[in-house]
């Protein structure tokens, strides 16, 4: 019976997102909700792919701006999010869990920071290689000990 429970697994997904940019565009598209719905109703689609569809270059935010794109700030912005996937067996026991920090944006850059898979704090403004020579920007993409950013008192 134990082996049977291991054979049948269910994946539970949870997402959390925060958007920044042109508020009217985010509200009109319900951007975070739309990305979450894409990930939910297309189970083969990761949250990363879903937010790219909404906020990435050429995504729905850009399309919503129409001829105002790059003229008024309309449609500019990005989303940072966390996706959690938990695998449970037939008896409801958790068998595995994995999480990912995801991000995409359609503007010049987006300030963000997260703890990477090595347990290090990493701050970024741009995509790796987005602007030639800006990788020397103080702190951009470098790993830091989390304790260095936290008051250890």
Q: Where are the domains of the chain?
A: 2-106, 111-153
Which has more confidence, 71 or 133?
Answer: 71
Q: How far, CA to CA in Å, does 83 sit from each of 17, 45, 99, 109, 129?
A: 9, 12, 5, 22, 25
Amino acid 11: pLDDT: 80
Query: Would you place residue 38 in the very low, low, confident or very high pLDDT band (cuts 50, 70, 90)?
Result: very high
103, 51 Cβ separation under 8 angstroms: yes
The candidate with the shortest Cα–Cα distance to 110, out of 46, 40, 57, is 57
Amino acid 136: pLDDT: 63
Which has more confidence, 1 or 18?
Answer: 18
Amino acid 30: pLDDT: 97
Extended beta strands in 28-93, E state: 77-89
148: three-class secondary structure by DSSP: helix
Amino acid 63: pLDDT: 97
Q: Which tens digits make up the pLDDT trace of 72-128?
A: 999 999 999 999 989 998 888 988 999 999 999 999 899 999 998 899 999 888 887
Amino acid 5: pLDDT: 47
């Amino acid at each position: 019976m134990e082996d049977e429970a291991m054979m049948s697994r269910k994946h539970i997904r949870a997402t959390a997102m925060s958007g920044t940019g042109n508020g009217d565009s985010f509200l009109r598209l319900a951007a975070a909700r739309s990305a979450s719905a894409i990930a939910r109703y297309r189970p083969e689609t990761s949250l990363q792919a879903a937010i790219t569809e909404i906020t990435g270059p050429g995504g729905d935010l850009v399309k919503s701006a129409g001829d105002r794109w790059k003229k008024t700030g309309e449609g500019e912005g990005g989303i940072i999010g966390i996706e959690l996937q938990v695998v449970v067996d037939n008896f409801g026991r958790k068998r595995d869990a994995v999480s990912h920090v995801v991000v995409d944006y359609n503007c010049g850059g987006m300030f963000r920071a997260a703890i990477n898979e090595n347990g290090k704090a990493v701050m970024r403004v741009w995509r790796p290689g987005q602007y030639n020579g800006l990788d020397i920007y103080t702190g951009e993409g470098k790993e830091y000990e989390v304790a260095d950013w936290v008051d250890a008192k």
